[in-house]
Structure 1
Amino acid sequence: MTASLRIMRRLAGACAIAVFALPAAAETLTDTLIRAYRSSPQLEQQRYLLRATDEDVAVAVSALRPSVDFQSQYSKTYRDTGFGAATTTGASLGLVLNYTILDGGQRHLRIGAAKEAVLAARYGLVQQEQSVLLAAAEAYLDLRLAVRTVDVRANNVRVINQQLAAARDRFEVGEVTRTDVAIAQSRLATSQSQLAAARGQVDIAREVYRLAVGELPTGTLAAPPPPPALPANVERAQTLALQVHPLILAGQHEVTAGRLLAEAAEADRLPSISLRSNLTYARPDTTSLGATVTGNVPIYSGGRLSALNRQAIARAQATRSELAQTGRAVTENVGRAWAGLQIAQAQITATRQGVTSAQLAFEGFREEASLGARTTLDVLDAEQELLDARTALLQAESDAQVAVYRVLTAMGLMTTDHLGLSVERYAPEAYYNLVSNAPAISPSEQGGRLDSVLRRFGRN
């Protein structure tokens, strides 16, 4: 083997070792949000429930069409006349058609109400999307905060170890007493306990992350990107929220649906005309064809129709009041989230100044202690204040990042569209277009499996 060949093989081996030694790619907040959207069982459940609501339109449409039933009958009669017994056997096959010709328009009104309910359910799906993405963002930022807190605690343990070693050295030469060493040992034990607790919080945060996203992160957590832009002030944020929040838009469609159902209940009191036709074949060789047109005018129903009409009107008015309350709640949630963001941003400024001051104080105390002007307890107290300041800064920075996404959620903008996530977005209109005309068979393989799913949700 030539020297050059040996050198090339060594280089190749070194390159292979370097490749395998590369750390896993950092997990970004965008990666987390995308994974949560793609794997969320809550979103999948809501999509199936939306499809169940789509079928309400198909059910309402089917009421406009005739129904055809196949009927069969078999009878056997035994008769004893006193002079002898006789047995008569009869059988018939028939087709029966029922069709409502006129109903005062109540079926069309119910179709309109069902369509409005579908639109409301679609915005309900958007609201669920917001909840899933916010939970993922909070889990990501909380886990990153827990990991960074562990780093701060671990660094504190190293510093106190150094302080303990220095105290022991000074004790050996008679500069400090055994009490100083004992204080340093006590602080070290406390710091180690806090480090263990911080590591436990990381484990808890990882499980929360798994719950929100579906799996643990594949690598370290990268710093979050710059948060999306927000309106200039809380008033603009509240005004925008009242225009675009999915709960507001869903409530508007629910109000329209309630009004249409109230009109349909009133139309139930109008005259109706129906057609019934039958084609029957009976033994022995008898074929009959008949048709009946029936007109019905409700005169007295014991007050039932009037009660149903009043009930529908009351429900429509209740839905309108609910929308007003939803508007208040959305405004309040935006104001609350905005205040939380302002508080977190103010805390960042204050805690940064606190970290700077605590760092200067700690360095000064440590230098003065080396000259005998400060005790070991003074240095350890200064170190604890610095640790508290650094931890408070990490918490404030994390709170500010979470607060931005909470403001977006309160405004109704915590969605894949607004965040610009590269995901294949669910298209609710695709299934609706397949079933809204009430096909007689399942329109797709996926739709064919829907029945068993809906039964589990109690919707079929």
Structure 2
Amino acid sequence: MKPVLLLLASLTFAGNAQALGLLDAYELARRNDPAWQAAGAAREAGLEQRAIGRAALLPTLSWGYSHSRNQSQVSQGSQRQDRDYRSHAATLSLQQPLLDFDALARWRQGDAQAHQAQAQWQGQQQALRVRVVRLYSNALLAARRTQLSRERKHALGERLALNRSLFEDGAGTRTDVLETEARLNLAVAEELEALDAQDVAARELQALLGQAPTQLQPLAEHIQLPALQPAAFEAWRQLASSRNPELLARRRGLDVAEQEVQRQRAGHLPKLSLFASNRQSQSDSESSYQQAFDTNTVGLQLNVPLFAGGGVSAATRQAASRLAQAQHELDGQALATFNNLRRHYNATRSGAARVRAYRLAAASAEAQLHATWRSQQGGERINLDVLDAEQQLYRARLELHEAQHGWLLASVELKAAAGVLGEDDMRQVASHFRE
């Protein structure tokens, strides 16, 4: 248990150690997160599709060489001659497509694939920012739950000692002692549960950062709640329609599918290319025995497909079906994106109101606890009323922290769903955490 306790202790809020800020955690995640590193490699691979597609329109240059030993017997009438000779040939060839619909479709398809890879990488970048905020916030919130559970357990322990003292002096009842003992046992169980949750949250953050998290900067007690900008949902919908990376990637995927249809149709179309070659050979065949040739050739080559067993038609129909599939997937992605956008929009708007309400609720619960405690001393309330007031204060404080973290995460997810979560937004989010 000792390593676990050390790990959990690193997430407490006391002490003079340098706290790990949100931006520091973001930089660590960019350097160490395997998913982000994989996304970068996938982007680099996808960008090469542009060069691969363009290569089909550019000239190809090749050089070939052959060297062989030959043994033959030449008969002419009654005379026979044995030949044992070596031959060689070297050919330099250049070919340039002039009319090639397949190559044109490959070029356009490669460009669309490169744009798709870029959009997917941008989506992974925004997803990384959301994950950093979520796991950083989860670790802090789990530590806060543990702290509140510990404070409540300590308060119940003190109250139990008071109840026992009053009972021994004859001023209290056995019922008061049993009620407080029951609440204390529940508090101990809640603390253990909170410790387990804190351990899980700390290890998830550690997996993202690539190292054990040190002391974290907690969320400010009274974070600022700026008005949502833009305020109208339709403005956020337009942003998501034009900038959401997943939608952009799906649209590029649709372009890729369209060019695949054109590429398969090109199997029915002629190809025209320019070719040039230089061939140097010696004793290349029996007819050129002991002769050397240096031949330059320039010409046009036309290839007209006539029949391929129906394969071209089948491949074209298959590509058309996949194009329809890509269109339906794009429609489905748009619906899912706008639904998520609406959910995060509502959570951000209502979250700010919830934070303000829980602030008032926490203040009221604290005042109620003091009033109930004084009333009990005056004989107007009983021990159970005080315990209920303490429980209400604990829940109000916990719900306030949860509401603040929830509002912050909802605002980040809203911008990510709209495709506008950038570096400036990360700095703004980091300003809500304090040393």
Q: Under a length normalisation based on structure 2, what TM-score does the superposition of the two structures give? A: 0.81
**Which amino acid in the other structure matches residue 266 of structure 2?**
A
TM-aligned CA deviation for residue 304 of structure 1: 2.4
Kindly report which structure 2 residues correspond to 1:60-459, keeping only aligned pairs within 5 A, or say none.
60-63=53-56, 64-77=58-71, 88=84, 90-97=86-93, 99-223=95-219, 230-274=229-273, 275=275, 277=277, 279-283=279-283, 284=290, 286-289=292-295, 291=297, 293-416=300-423, 419=426
Is residue 46 of structure 1 aligned with residue 46 of structure 2?
A: no
* Structure 1 CA distance for aligned equivalents of residues 224 and 243 of structure 2: 23
TM-aligned CA deviation for residue 163 of structure 1: 0.8
**Is the deviation greater in 239-248 or in 278-287?**
278-287
TM-aligned CA deviation for residue 346 of structure 1: 4.1
* Structure 2 CA distance for aligned equivalents of residues 265 and 151 of structure 1: 65
Preserved contact between residue 103 and residue 268 of structure 1 (Cα < 8 Å): no
* Structure 2 CA distance for aligned equivalents of residues 193 and 127 of structure 1: 41
What are the superposed Cα offsets for residues 326-385 of structure 1, whole Å, 9 maximum, x if unpaired?
222221110122223344334334433433343233223322332344333332232222
Preserved contact between residue 29 and residue 222 of structure 1 (Cα < 8 Å): no
What are the superposed Cα offsets for residues 290-342 of structure 1, whole Å, 9 maximum, x if unpaired?
63643211222222233333333443343333333322222111012222334
**Which amino acid in the other structure matches residue 46 of structure 1?**
A
What are the superposed Cα offsets for residues 48-82 of structure 1, whole Å, 9 maximum, x if unpaired?
2222222222223333212303232425557799x
TM-aligned CA deviation for residue 216 of structure 1: 3.5
TM-aligned CA deviation for residue 160 of structure 1: 1.1
TM-aligned CA deviation for residue 417 of structure 1: 5.8
**Which amino acid in the other structure matches residue 139 of structure 1?**
L
Name the CA shift for 1:311/1:55 in 2 (closer, same or farther; >3 Å): same
- Select 1:55's aligned residue among 45, 48, 52: 48
5+ residue gaps, structure 2, are 1-13, 284-289, 429-435
TM-aligned CA deviation for residue 91 of structure 1: 3.5
**Which amino acid in the other structure matches residue 200 of structure 2?**
I
5+ residue gaps, structure 1, are 1-20, 422-460
**Which amino acid in the other structure matches residue 352 of structure 2?**
Q
Task: Provide the aligned length of Structure 1 versus Structure 2.
Answer: 401
What are the superposed Cα offsets for residues 146-205 of structure 1, whole Å, 9 maximum, x if unpaired?
122222222212211221121122112101233422332332232223223223322221
Specify the SS of the correspondent of 1:71. Answer: strand
Name the CA shift for 1:349/1:92 in 2 (closer, same or farther; >3 Å): same
* Structure 1 CA distance for aligned equivalents of residues 267 and 136 of structure 2: 55
Name the CA shift for 1:419/1:183 in 2 (closer, same or farther; >3 Å): closer
Name the CA shift for 1:87/1:189 in 2 (closer, same or farther; >3 Å): farther
* Structure 2 CA distance for aligned equivalents of residues 332 and 351 of structure 1: 27
CA RMSD after TM alignment:
3.1
Preserved contact between residue 225 and residue 352 of structure 2 (Cα < 8 Å): no
**Is the deviation greater in 187-196 or in 156-165?**
187-196
Name the CA shift for 1:369/1:344 in 2 (closer, same or farther; >3 Å): same
Specify the SS of the correspondent of 1:24. Answer: coil
TM-aligned CA deviation for residue 122 of structure 1: 0.5
Name the CA shift for 1:268/1:226 in 2 (closer, same or farther; >3 Å): farther
**Which amino acid in the other structure matches residue 400 of structure 1?**
W
* Structure 2 CA distance for aligned equivalents of residues 403 and 145 of structure 1: 15
* Structure 2 CA distance for aligned equivalents of residues 271 and 285 of structure 1: 38
Name the CA shift for 1:226/1:419 in 2 (closer, same or farther; >3 Å): farther
Name the CA shift for 1:251/1:167 in 2 (closer, same or farther; >3 Å): same
